[in-house]
Each structure stands twice: as structure tokens, then as C-alpha cells.
Structure 1
Amino acid sequence: MPTHNAVVKASVGLHARPAALFVRAVTETGLPVTISKEGGPGVDARSLLQVMAADFHQGCIVELGVSDAAVRGPLGRQEAEDALRALGELLESQGAA
């Protein structure tokens, strides 16, 4: 399963605007991305309500993942890894604040 860890940098965490920007970016990937706190259960990162309810606060380390079933071959795996990296960069950028 391709995964990527990132730190939520938005001062309000993943609430309201930062969460909406993140969910929109996830949806644009076309991948079934999950987001979770370290060691916690994942939620569907395409769902604004699930992302906001999970309380990803500023400084929270999150794991982004895509199931192996959603990845098709080595090219698909590379695309998934690239998408997760870009989503992690969004969470860590000031633009998500």
C-alpha cells in the first residue's frame, strides 16, 4: 500500500477552508485516499465531513494511503506515490492555512 506521512501546518488544522482545499485536491487525484493519525484508523480523505470530524490539528502527523487494490501495476503505484507526496506537500504548505 503506497503511503506518505505529512505534518498538518494550517493553524486551524484540517477544519473549514484548509479541509475543503485538501479534500478537493484528493478528489482531483481520482484515487481512494485515506488519511489517519499515527496508529489510528483511516478516514476517507474524499469526505469533507470525515476529515473535519477526525480532528487533524496543527502539528498532527498524518499518514496518507492508497490501497493496493486501487493501484494497477508499477506505473499506477508510481502515480499513487506521486499523488500522495503532492497531497502531503499541500498539508505542509502555507497555502493550506
Structure 2
Amino acid sequence: MPERRVKVASKVGLHARPAALVAKAAAAQPVTVSIAKDGGAPVAAGSVLSLMTLGAAHGDEVVITAEGDGAEAAIEAVAELIESDLDA
């Protein structure tokens, strides 16, 4: 299963607005995307509530995974958002 490790760039972490933007992008993918805080259990990236329960703060490393056709592109799309400052 492909995966990518990225650091959360938003100063508020994956909370509120950044979580909503990431969830929207993940839900739009043709495969299910999961995110785990390093060492934790994975959650559905397409769920704002699940993302917020991760407790991923600014600078934390998260692992993004997906499986199936289009998994690599889906991971890349979600990773780009997480690595961006979505606070504005």
C-alpha cells in the first residue's frame, strides 16, 4: 500500500478550516484515503471529525495511505494540502 509522510504546515494543525479543506479533497478522490498521526491508528481522511480527533498539530508528522487505482495521485493531492499553510 502506498504511503507518504508529511508535516502539518497549518499553524492550527488539522483543526477547523484546514481539516475541512483536507476532508473535502480526500472525499473527492476515487479511492479511500487514510491519515494517521505517527504511531497512531489511521482515520478516514474524508471526515472532518476524524481528522480533528487525530490531534495533529503544527509540525506533527502524519502518514497518508490509500489503496487501489489512483492511490498515488490521491495521496499526492491530500499531501499537498497538508504541507500547505491553510490558515488564511
Shorter-chain TM-score above 0.5? yes
CA RMSD across the alignment: 1.1
TM-score (norm 2): 0.91
Q: Does the Cα contact within 8 Å between 1:4 and 1:81 map onto a contact in 2?
A: no
Gaps of 5+ in 2: none
Task: Provide the aligned length of Structure 1 versus Structure 2.
Answer: 87
Per-residue deviation, 1:87: 1.1
Structure showing the higher helix proportion among its residues: 1
Gaps of 5+ in 1: none
Q: Which runs of 4+ in 1 moved over 4 A?
A: none
Give the counterpart letter for 1:22 in structure 2: V
Higher CA-based Rg: 1
1:42 is aligned to 2:42 = yes
Per-residue deviation, 1:30: 2.9
Q: Which moved more, 1:10-19 or 1:30-39?
A: 30-39
Residue matched to 1:30: 30
TM-score (norm 1): 0.83
Deviations 1:5-37 (A, max 9, x none): 111000100110000000000001132111001
1:83 is aligned to 2:74 = yes
